[in-house]
Amino acid sequence: MNTLAVRRLREKLAEGQAVYGLWVTLDSPSVTEMAVALGLDWVVIDAEHGHLDWKEVVEHLRATVRSETVALVRVADLDRGLIKRALDLGADGVVVPWVETEEQLRRAVSYSRYPPEGCRGIGAERATGWGECFVEHTGEANDHVLVIPIIESVRAIDDVPKMCEVEGVEVFFFGPADFSASAGFRGQWEGPGVAETILKLKDTIRRAGTHCGVVATGTANLAERFDQGFRMIALGLDGGLLLRSLHESLAAVGRDRKIKASFRVEGEPVKPSPLPRPPESMRPDRPEVNTTVGSGVVSEVTPGVRFECLVGTQNLARNLTTGLVTLAAMAEWPAHTHPFSESITLLDGRGAVEVEGRRYDLAILDNVVIPRGVAHRVLNLSDQGPAVFHLAIAGASIDHTIALSVPPSTSNEGPERVNRFATAHRFEAGPKTEFIDFFNETILPGIEMSGGYGRFHPGGRLPAHVHDFDESICIIEGDATCVVEGRSFAMRDRATALQPRGRVHYFVNESDAPMAMLWVYAGPAPIRIMVDERCATVEGNPWQVGGSQ
């Protein structure tokens, strides 16, 4: 038993902190190792549903040894033998499904404790060090074992106040899907009235001094559940999180679709339904800002190298700086490194980027992405005029460290990524559009931002959407109309918009000629959260309260 981890979890709960965890259903212990390595507070190894056998359960338990991650096992039923076996294998506690009465909960606690407080038998297994730690383990187990019932039936409603009086229970978990099924709404996560009922039961449990847990349905739901008073919050199920990531990546290339119960691939790729409004947790705290070229903050990086910052600290951008770098004829930005990733796209002239001795001569709109800490330099290859580059960094300043010596290249390949505009993969992100992903965490693992190119044919537009991070959009061709919650802005000639986290917006080409942009997100995944089109109007502005935003 990992008593230190249990104590730490209890301390966090007592301080009102959330404890975040993962529901484990896949057999590979690497899943739990990842959770431990990321510092999650707990894992629940699910032996109720799915295919995990006891050998696989114990491998997951082994992955939490000498960590600060509490390991719980969800048993298949309220069964003395199942609970005893899970604890003998070394679990820090059990999650018991479908608890509906006070009497059932008292039995669960009794099965989990050694006599005289309970009726758990003593076994010479992992929990007791295969018999060598009888005294140590039996002396501490009753005080540290966690017994967590799941309330997942409407029949439990009347007994919840009595369950709160059962000693030895510190957290109640809720199962909204089964709760909905028992209420007559099979197949729904929270059917009509179920969400409200669960929140009322949660309030009853919290008034009794006990904590509540639930599985979040997505990133935005994590903050919503915390605000509702839940403190033991699952990031999700391992399989579900994997599917979520797959859906996001497939959607980015126009290949997303729903899984059929038959596992047959049928029909066309599906598009996610827009949300009626953005999650309340994304309520923005800053206005949008549009900056024209010539009105940004200008600095001389080095002789012959000028940077005009269009998105950055001056307009309250977070974790993102973008702008235009102009190199005079034959000028050079000497070899240097940054403590963050950098994207460089040639807009005008003849330019090149050299990374650890590997040189890339660039055509217009070719892009080079350099991970943090990698030495590189930027050159203007022309003696006739300037070269202009679009620059984006995942930081608040372009402050850089001059690399006194650049190690010679020992390979034709390096950590950088070069995107050749002419041959890059294109996909449709909205009607009459074509997009290119230059960089994101799927393309370049470990990068802190994402971005690319978007071209809008006449009439082309994106749906109304929000992001969970700031965004920079630089108009590099044609005329664009930017709509933000009913406010409309005309943009052209490399004017750049800062869209803060949570602002509902979209771009549309209302002209009779093409329009193009370079977009950069202050987040590693290019995720757009689609919302109802009315949210992008003055009347439907979701953040409008009493005339203020």
Mean pLDDT of 427-452: 92
Q: Is the model's pLDDT at 410 over the cut of 60? A: no
Q: Are residues 70 and 35 in the same domain?
A: yes
pLDDT in tens, 251-283: 766 677 778 888 877 666 656 678 999 999 999
Cα–Cα distances (Å) from 54 to 72, 82, 450, in that order, read 13, 10, 42
Please give the distance of CA 390 from its chain centroid, rounded to a whole number.
27
Query: What average pLDDT score do residues 112-130 get?
Result: 96
Between 189-193, 349-353, 399-403, the lowest mean confidence (pLDDT) is in: 399-403
Residues 302 and 428 grouped into a single domain: no
CB 253 within 8 A of CB 266: no
Confidence of residue 411 (pLDDT cuts 50, 70, 90): low
29, 55 in Cβ contact below 8 A?
A: no
Instruction: Give the three-state DSSP class for 327.
Output: strand
Claim to verify: residue 445 and residue 395 sit in the same structural domain = no
Q: 105-109 long-range contacts, Cβ below 8 Å, gap at least 24?
A: 105/149, 105/163, 105/166, 105/169, 106/166, 107/78, 107/80, 108/78, 108/83, 108/147, 108/149, 109/147, 109/166, 109/167, 109/168, 109/169
**What digits encode the pLDDT tens for the residues 138-155?**
999 999 999 999 999 999
What is the CA angle 294-436-541, rounded to 5? 65
Is 252 within a domain? no
Q: Does residue 512 sit in the same domain as residue 431?
A: yes
> Does residue 152 belong to any structural domain of this protein?
yes
User: Residue 505: inside a domain, yes or no?
Assistant: yes
Mean pLDDT of 452-467: 95
Res 86: pLDDT = 98
* Distance of alpha carbon 366 from alpha carbon 384, whole angstroms: 21
Q: Residue 144: which H helix or E strand, with range?
A: helix 134-144
Q: Which among 421, 449, 482 is the end of a domain?
A: 421
- Taking all residues of the chain, what is their mean pLDDT, rounded to a whole number? 93
**What backbone phi and psi angles, to 5 degrees, belong to 473?**
-130, 115
- What are 186-221's pLDDT values in tens digits? 888 998 899 999 999 999 999 999 999 999 998 889
Q: Which of 207, 238, 269 corresponds to the end of one domain?
A: 238
- Residues 20, 168 within the same domain: yes
Q: Is the pLDDT of residue 377 over 50?
A: yes
Q: What is the mean pLDDT of residues 408-423?
A: 82
Q: Are residues 388 and 328 in the same domain?
A: yes
- The model's confidence at residue 548, banded by pLDDT at 50, 70 and 90, is very low
Q: Is residue 121 assigned to a domain?
A: yes
Query: Can you give the residue range of the structural domain that contains 518?
Result: 423-536
Residue 17 has pLDDT above 70, yes or no: yes
CATH of the domain at 492: 2.60.120.10
pLDDT higher than threshold 90 for residue 288:
yes
Any domain includes 160: yes
Do 340 and 477 have their domain in common? no
pLDDT of residue 111: 98
- Out of 185-194, 326-335, 471-480, least confident range: 185-194
189 and 77 together in one domain: yes
Same domain flag for 363 and 444: no
Residue 58's CATH number: 3.20.20.60
User: Does position 125 have pLDDT exceeding 60, yes or no?
Assistant: yes
Contact yes or no for 375/406 (Cβ under 8 A): yes
Lowest mean pLDDT of 15-24, 69-78, 169-178, 214-223, name the range: 214-223
Residue 372 falls within a domain, yes or no?
A: yes
- Weakest-pLDDT range from 157-161, 224-228, 265-269, 315-319: 265-269
pLDDT for 399 equals 77
Share of the chain above pLDDT 70, in %: 95
Q: Side-chain half-sphere of 249: how many Cα atoms within 13 Å?
A: 12
| pLDDT over threshold 60, residue 398 | yes
- R_g (Cα) of the chain, nearest Å: 28
What angle, rounded to 10 degrees, do the helices at 102-111 and 80-88 form? Answer: 40
Asked if residues 40 and 20 have their Cβ atoms less than 8 Å apart, the reply is: yes
In a domain, 284, yes or no: no
pLDDT score at 546: 40
Which residues 6+ apart lie within 8 Å of 223 measured at CB?
279, 281
Quote the CA–CA distance of 59 and 50 in Å, as a whole number.
16
The pLDDT tens digits for 224-261 are 999 999 999 999 999 999 998 888 787 766 677 778 88
Q: Looking at residues 429-443, what average pLDDT do you find?
A: 92
pLDDT score at 547: 35
Q: Is the peptide bond before 116 cis (omega within 30 degrees of 0)?
A: yes
- Cα gap 455→433, rounded to integer Å: 6
> What pLDDT score does 396 carry?
85
Q: Residue 477: which of 494, 458, 489 has the closest Cα?
A: 494
pLDDT at 130 over 70: yes
Last residue of a domain, one of 238, 269, 297: 238
Structural domains of the chain, count: 3
CB 521 within 8 A of CB 263: no
Q: Is 323's pLDDT higher than 80?
A: yes
Residue linked to tokens 């076996």: 85
Q: How far apart are the first and last CA of the chain?
A: 51
- Quote the CA–CA distance of 235 and 24 in Å, as a whole number: 11
Residues 474 and 377 in one domain: no
The catalytic site residues sit at 49
Q: What percent of the chain has pLDDT over 90?
A: 83
pLDDT mean over 12-24: 97
245 within some domain: no
Task: Report the C-alpha gap between 483 and 471 in whole angstroms.
Answer: 14
Pair (107, 66) in one structural domain: yes
pLDDT higher than threshold 80 for residue 162: yes
Task: Kindly state whether residues 204 and 103 are assigned to the same domain.
Answer: yes
Confidence band of 433 (pLDDT split at 50, 70, 90): very high
